Amino acid sequence: MKYKVDEIVKLKHVTEEDKQKSQLTYYDRFKKYEGLTGTILAITKSNKYEVLIHTSKPNTKFFYEELWLEKLTEFEAF
């Protein structure tokens, strides 16, 4: 597993190829969350990530594949 519970991740723009590789369905409503961040709440036995999405709508959470997520990049100002 690449990510851990309570880690903040970025929701990637998912390509058609990545959608086809998945056991999960990538719903059209997921597109509006692409580029946002989320917190990993849990990891299933089949390595699916339950993600709480950081949005104005409270308690928005979905299951994501690992390849649909990316590390959050932070830069330190000088």
In the chain, how many H helices and how many E strands? Answer: 1, 5
**pLDDT tens track for 59-71:** 899 999 999 999 9
pLDDT of residue 14: 93
pLDDT of residue 24 exceeding 70, the answer is: yes
pLDDT of residue 1: 75
Nearest to 70 by CA among 16, 9, 15: 9
What does pTM read for this prediction? 0.86
Give the full edge-to-edge strand order of the sheet including 37-43.
61-64, 49-53, 37-43, 8-11, 69-71
Report the first-to-last Cα separation within the chain, whole angstroms: 33
* 38 CB neighbour count, 10 Å cutoff: 24
